[in-house]
Amino acid sequence: MLNQYYRRIWGIVAFGCLLATVVLGAGSVDEYIRLRNEVSDMQQLQIQWEATQTRARTLRQAEQQVDNLLNELQPRSMTEARLPGLRDEVVELVRASRCGLRSIQITPATTRPWGEENDDARAAGMRRDALPSAFELHTYTLDLRVDGPLDSIRQLMRDLTALRLLMTTEVLSLSQIDEGDGISLSLRASLYGLMAAPAEQLDNI
């Protein structure tokens, strides 16, 4: 009887210990799961933070590249304020090359939005799938007619190229003058300027 009594007592004690272990163990498991989830959340936040920092660095680099490009293009860009000076400069080049000036005209600018990627200044507008950037393209037209000896015409063309304007040649024709060895040059060129778009246009982007 006594042995049975002790066996019952030990059974109760063992069951109590097992129950306590289960209860305490369940709490530890819950704590472990909670901590593991917190660590996982922190790792995700760290990944997101690093990705954000990478994007920020990439954006700063892109902005710096744009600033560098604009600084490089600024002296070569045509603006309304530069038109009188350009006309005087071209006239002086004609005289210096010993050519005779027949006519010179620079038309006012036409403007259009400048595409965000792979835009072409020679195109009349952006591609249909293009997004507008924060800039707009100003295009002026230079019409120039001169005549003179061939060497003088060549010198004038070299001097015009040395201006390093943002320019494309639309028409360039040479014809011999009836009298003597003179050459007549007709030049039509597009001059470009990239300017910041007006604030109201930026609001619509």
Q: Is the C-alpha dihedral spanning 18, 19, 22, 23 positive or negative? A: negative
Asked whether the predicted pLDDT for residue 151 surpasses 50, the reply is yes
3-state secondary structure of 120: coil
Q: Residue 67: pLDDT above 60?
A: no
Amino acid 92: pLDDT? 96
* Residue 85 in this model has a pLDDT that exceeds 80: yes
The DSSP element (H or E) to which 132 belongs, if any, is strand 132-148
State in words which class domain 78-203 has.
Answer: alpha beta
Which of 4-13, 150-159, 178-187 is the most confident on average?
A: 150-159
pTM of this structure: 0.62
Residue listed under structure tokens 């704590």: 31
pLDDT by residue (tens digit) across 153-164? 999 999 999 888
Say if CB 183 and CB 146 are below 8 A apart: no
Highest-confidence range of 3-7, 21-25, 122-126, 201-205, by mean pLDDT? Answer: 122-126
Residue 56, CA atoms < 13 Å, CB-side half-sphere: 6
- Longest Cα pair distance anywhere in the chain, in angstroms? 146
